Chain A
Amino acid sequence: MTPTDAELVTRCLDGDRDAQRQFVQRYQQMIFALCYRMLGSYEDAEDVAQESLVRAVRALDRWDSQRPMKPWLLTITANRCRTALMKRSKKPIPTDYPLEPGIVDVNPGRVDLAEELDRALETLQPEHRECFLLFHEHDLNCAEVGEVLGHPEGTIKTWLHRTRKKLADILRQRGVVPELNYELR
């Protein structure tokens, strides 16, 4: 039977290596995913994910077992990602990505939506990017995103809608012309 987070944490705090291994294996994909999205590099994401998990295991005694583990871990990870981004001298926006409208030459039929979205995300402010990632990739609700980012739920909602609009505008600039389909819901 799979142990609950609280059970696992109790065993981790007792120095149980097997529990620590289980804890890492349970959350490493989620943490790596956020790092990868935030940093845009596999190697950097691996380093920061490792650092975040080590910090999390060391700080398990500060986790409130009455609250969900996921937002707590994502808060630690987001902080580590922000620190890593600050240390970077280069800007996260790739230079070969034209953002000005009118100079794009993309065949709409051949657009890779996932790749375009990835690149569009890199142009966003870090806070808005985190907001989008936490909501859409990690399935946190707006209140939980607010908890992770340290902002009120209302601010998160505003950021979420603004970010979605901006991303849609960028995708349009890249030549993606959406058509409304009434059949979709």
Chain B
Amino acid sequence: MNCDDLQRQLEHAVENREPFPFEDWREHLDQCESCRRLCADHQLLERAVEEWSGVKQAPDLSEQILAILEEDDDVRETAPNKSPRRSGIWFVIASVAAAVLVVIGLQNRDEPDVSTTFVNTSTLDDGSEEPDVDMDEILVDTKKAYDSLLGRAQSTVTSLKPPVTVTTPPTDVVPEEQKSLFPEELKPLQSELTQSFGFLTALIPEPEN
């Protein structure tokens, strides 16, 4: 029986709340100062724990706790839809429904039926002959549409700012004198018109008088 054995047996006794047989170790303890100290500390701790273990009586918390729990229940009853568990269920249902709709949509989407689509091959340009489309005519029509759009924009502007007078319809992208017709709030419109139709003006042939 040595110091390690004694320490091991003492620790085992502590861990398992078993008594330690000091008498059995008397011979060793009489000779070993460190083991004697170890055992004396153990006895001291046991005595201290015994004296210390009675703690103050707890107050009765049951009424306060029940009041808090009742308040919680009242809140839940007034706002039943905010229950996180219920929200979770609805989220799952909504997700499944959305997924089903997407799948159905993908399966039934419209795809061109190659076998039945009618194609007028006479209008196709196969490169063997000149197309019968007059590009000049298209450009003139586009310019007319542009003028009409610009005219409408101008009338909108003039209705917003009455003192403005418009002299001639624009022939260029937007004449410098008309740029001032666009108030700050319509600057984006001016910019968009210029970007969309500005390139066309360069292509349009001058009308012959």
Per-residue A-contact encoding for B162-178, CB less than 8 Å = 1, 0 else: 00000000000000000
Chain A hits for B22, CB < 8 A: 180-185
The segment from B60-68, B131-139, B143-151 found at the interface with A is: B60-68
Q: Are B66 and A17 in contact (CB under 8 A)?
A: yes
Chain B hits for A141, CB < 8 A: 15
The chain B residue sitting closest to A185, CB to CB, is B19
Q: Are A136 and B58 in contact (CB under 8 A)?
A: no
The segment from A49-57, A73-81, A85-93, A95-103 found at the interface with B is: A49-57
Q: Are A24 and B61 in contact (CB under 8 A)?
A: yes
Chain B hits for A179, CB < 8 A: 40
Interface residues in A120-137 (C-beta closer than 8 Å to B): 136-137
Q: Are A178 and B62 in contact (CB under 8 A)?
A: no
Q: Are A178 and B41 in contact (CB under 8 A)?
A: yes
- CA A116 – CA B45 in complex, angstroms? 11
Chain B hits for A25, CB < 8 A: 60, 62
Q: Using a Cβ cutoff of 8 Å, how many contacts connect chains A and B?
A: 119
Min CB distance A123 to B, Å, is: 14
- CA A112 – CA B29 in complex, angstroms? 28
Q: Are A185 and B29 in contact (CB under 8 A)?
A: no
Min CB distance B18 to A, Å, is: 9
How many chain-B residues does the 8 Å CB contact rule pick out?
Answer: 42
Chain B hits for A136, CB < 8 A: 49, 53
Q: Are A113 and B57 in contact (CB under 8 A)?
A: no
Q: Are B51 and A114 in contact (CB under 8 A)?
A: yes
Min CB distance A52 to B, Å, is: 10
B82 contacts chain A at the CB level, 8 A cutoff: no
- CA A53 – CA B21 in complex, angstroms? 42
Q: Are B52 and A28 in contact (CB under 8 A)?
A: no
Q: Are B48 and A114 in contact (CB under 8 A)?
A: yes
- CA A24 – CA B62 in complex, angstroms? 6
Interface residues in A28-46 (C-beta closer than 8 Å to B): 28-29, 31-33, 36-37, 42, 46
Taking A21-B62, A46-B58, A178-B40 as given, write out 16 further A-B residue pairs in contact, using a Cβ cutoff of 8 Å, ordered by the A residue number. Answer: A15-B73, A20-B66, A25-B60, A25-B62, A28-B61, A32-B61, A53-B61, A54-B68, A113-B47, A114-B51, A136-B49, A137-B53, A157-B11, A168-B44, A180-B39, A185-B20
